[in-house]
Amino acid sequence: MACTLDNFIHSLDLRALPRVIQIQSGVYCQGSIYEMFGNECSLSTGEVIKVTGFKINKLIASICENNEVSRFSAKVELPLNFPGLYKIVADKTPYVSIEEIARKVSIGPTRFGHPCFYSAEDIKLANFTIKHGEQITFNSVEEVDGTMAVDCVVVRNNESHSFTLPFSQEGEFYECEDDQIYTLKEIAEWKIPKCRNRIVKLSNTLHLQDSSSPLPENFDGCLILMPVYEVQAVMKFRKDIVHILSDLDVEVKDITDCYDIGSFLQPLSLEDIFERTSKEFPMVAEIMEGPLGSQKPYNLLSTGKEIVIYKKYQAARVLASEMRSDSSKRHFLIPTSYKGKFKRRPREFPTAYDLEIARTEKEQLHVVATKAFASPHKELFSVSVGDQFLVQQHQTSEVLYEGRKKLVDVLACEQILSDTYKKVLLPMYMEGGFVEVIHDKKQYHLSEICKEFHLPFNVKVSVRDLSIEEDVLAAAPGLRFEEEITDSYLLISSASSPVESWEIPVYRLSMLVHLLNKDVQAVVPPVMRTTVEEVSEAEYYMLRRYENLTLHPPPRPPKKPT
């Protein structure tokens, strides 16, 4: 049965891909087929297309009143990078089964992919009863004894209870209220259910100061968001990927069950390649859609080029940021194979607790106070700007608080005076400011810094890596090594002239290939070139977002009553 492309995509489950569709009623736009911002806009009646993926390209927004589109609201188009933060309004329409939730709602490994629902009635399981109205967190979709189910968690009396709900479980399931705030891009990727619109409320209105905003001036209400999808597809007689917007005025028919899907080229993402078994490597592939970027090796990965993929693996990187006072700082992922050398730069510490984290047995930490601190207890030291200290160790000390003795965490230090040292105790919660005094003039390799010091760590390149044509780190005024991470990579080289190999990141490089039935001439990869990867601001925060939470200093006790 024929339907519009928009309706087809809205009802399509990602797990059902790929699907083969035939154009029942075509559309033709005069001029280049890539005239509309790189999206296909001319499709002939009878043409056969294999849909391999889709994602939200933009959002159509209408002002919402009483959970409905306002009669006076004009529809406006919002790009996914439209600024602002938004809160989600819980959907009042119930889901009738666990299968419907799994089919329509994004459930995945990140914190965005853990939606919460409650049941209108009690659900009795084998050894556990979910009470009506109790929040159920959906963590993942899995197969249990041949039956599809959702892995769930309920928190009761600060204790987590894990269980699975089969797709066949029926009932009335309602979306829970969500107190988190999201960008429009995060909402588009994770928080818009299939076949449903999403109501959001502006959490901040800073962007509305911009006169170019399509929303009314001083608007702080709710919006109904309707997604427009970008469909990724393969056409029968073309070797590249085509992109079609779902609101293109065509009718389509699903003919997957009566068509040889193997007659199409099979586009694979880097994630698809990485999921292959190690014994399938090395392999030869042709690039169907190359990545954007001018730095090596991305500028070599053009559409139509053949590459050899030697192996997949996990590799260590150091996440670093430029030390700049303005907001235009750049971020880098540096491989441990980097051959340049670094000299230390002074670190800054906002609290005494940070001094405790940074100190090592290898050398004594020497700091200067940059901010005064008046201690509320006579047993602890009050700091003046310019005071110098040698950090000793963490310990506890008794202080008199409201007439009673109390144990508090302190940092034992030696204050450096003109001709002597004085033992002092600084409260661990102290909100001051310290800057490190560097006595070490040694030049370090990256691996030495990771082994001998705690991160974060401040440095400057003293000897650049001569094996890199343009060492971007050498131009930085200073670098802050934030943390070590482990990431997934593929090792590749050019198939026609394999004189050097490169590591490419699996999850940050948007690229599609199809495998060729060709033998690899040289199983051993050529010499690997060191690549310092520059990451965007968004990628930087995503890399840091899911790392272990940073330890925080103990809470400061209440002030003495005046």
pLDDT per residue rounded down to tens, the chain (562 residues) = 789 988 899 888 777 888 999 888 866 444 334 344 445 556 778 888 899 888 899 999 988 876 666 665 678 888 888 888 899 999 999 999 999 999 899 898 777 889 999 999 999 988 889 999 999 999 999 888 888 999 999 999 889 999 999 999 999 999 999 988 898 989 998 899 988 889 999 876 554 455 567 777 777 788 999 999 989 888 876 777 788 888 888 889 999 998 888 788 888 889 989 988 888 899 999 998 888 766 667 777 888 899 999 999 999 999 999 988 776 789 999 998 999 999 999 998 988 888 888 888 778 899 999 999 888 888 888 899 999 999 998 888 888 877 788 888 888 999 999 889 999 998 888 877 899 999 989 999 999 999 888 888 899 999 999 888 888 999 898 999 999 988 899 999 998 888 889 999 998 888 899 999 888 877 788 888 888 999 988 888 878 754 443 444 445 444 443 3
59, 216 Cβ separation under 8 angstroms:
no
Say yes or no: do domains 91-176 and 348-436 share a fold: yes
Handedness of CA 171, 175, 177, 179 (dihedral sign): positive
Element (H, E) at 273: helix 270-274
91-176 has which CATH code?
A: 2.30.30
Q: Which CATH fold topology does 348-436 show?
A: SH3 type barrels. (2.30.30)
What residue spans define the domains of the chain? Answer: 1-86+181-265, 91-176, 267-339+466-551, 348-436
Of 70, 165, 74, the residue nearest 115 (C-alpha): 165
DSSP 354-394: HHHHH--SSS--EEEE-S-B--SSTTSPPB-TT-EEEEEEE
356, 428 Cβ separation under 8 angstroms:
yes
Other Cβ atoms less than 10 A from the Cβ of 400: the count is: 11
d(CA 266, CA 262): 8
3 state DSSP class of 188: helix
